[in-house]
Chains A and B, each alone.
Chain A
Amino acid sequence: MIRYSIGDRIMIGCIYLLLTLLAFSTFYPFWNALAISFNAGLDTAKGGITFWPREFTLENYSIVFQDSSLLRGFGVSVARTIVGTVLSILATSIFAYGMTKRELIGHKYYMLMGIITMYFGGGLIPTYMLIRNLGLMNSFWVFIIPGLISVWNMIIFRTFFKGLPVGLEESAKIDGSGNWGIYFRIILPLSGPVIATLALFTAIAHWNDWFVPSIYISDENLLPIQTILRQTLLSNISVTQMSGLDSASLARLEQMKNVTSKSLTMATMMVATLPIIAVYPFVQRFFVKGVLIGSLKE
């Protein structure tokens, strides 16, 4: 047993205090937003909601769940997350399996071609022009196709596949399986952990993306919930700025509207956050593993 001196005890006491403060400051904004989302909109306006709603109501959520554009946005987010993740993981892992083959002619050049893209890119404007020329503006596929292949994930998959026992592949070959058969029947079923880790990160990136739709999508039916939420927040802010300029009565009127919607906005925000919070406790072990795979590669 290690014995602590007085100085050590003071230091450790400070550490516990600082960590508690950090955890509280991270937890509180989420909890506060949750409390506001369950509070009656007009009452929220008076301020002072901290840990618990003062006038508890489910009205904000019932408005959110009746708003057809929000529901559609939620649907678009779910669709792009599922389709994007499945296709990207499938395409990237097939690419990675092909790249494990030593006999693959040109594999060194293929690898170089991939790695260069990790360090250099065309930047925002040339990419924007390309997407426009390809006719992907206002198309669901702009969410899926440009990010289908991730060189970074390919390298992680490839490292994992190379670590699998060679014997399995050889015995399958003797049984007459081709490379594609081996990939689907042997490699894919053995890669559960790495697929789970990379799928998780890909899915979260899809769910959280608001920027790509904000520049490529003008059709409101195709906007995911994050982009809709951003527009809602923006309109809230502009109302606040306007109310500062206008005459007193108008300002009060605007403020009433504005804060009514603040509880609503928090409810929308909670709905957009919910899928991540819901899977978060179960996947923690995966993402710790994931970040370590990534850093070991470096």
Chain B
Amino acid sequence: MLDLLFYIFASLTVVPAFLMVTSRSPVTAAMFMIASLVGMACLFVMMDAFFLAILQVLVYAGAVMVLFLFIIMLLDMDEGEDLRTRAIPSMAAMVLGGLILVTILGFFSGKFDDQFPEIQEPAALKLDGSQTLPEVYEKHLPLPYSTKAKTFGYGLFTKYMLPFQVTGVLLLIAMVGVIVLSKRTTDESEGGSAT
């Protein structure tokens, strides 16, 4: 049953991803990308990572792709544009992608065969008086392998605080950059308020 579901969701992820690259109409490509993202969210659900799955749909399918579609429709791109691929860049991309795939497969093959850690919920952790989340952190134990949203939040604000803050600063820089670029100062010709 689970295997069958995996194959269904995996093909839901891979086939639209392929069609997205090959389709000529930008809107169709965007729709295939949404389908692919939703398929990936389904794969996350199969791995009990509900929180990641929901974030995948919420952020990518729900917000980023809406903006993509918005831009595509606003600019009214035609499918007549010549999108012929050039030989050298596509070859380079193929070789690089293949190398990355081989590396990942070589690195992970046989590594996780029978040793998936057991899922521990914070509620279960609390039963043993010494093992609440803050105490797990203070004793430098590994964070519990759990599906609860709370565990993600706890990890982000304790063990992974620095990466979290660095990411936040990066996003802030990106935001400021966009504002600066879009608010380009106009040459004060007529009225001067055209932005």
Task: Decide if A and B are genuine partners.
Answer: no
B residues at A contact (CB < 8 Å): none
A residues at B contact (CB < 8 Å): none
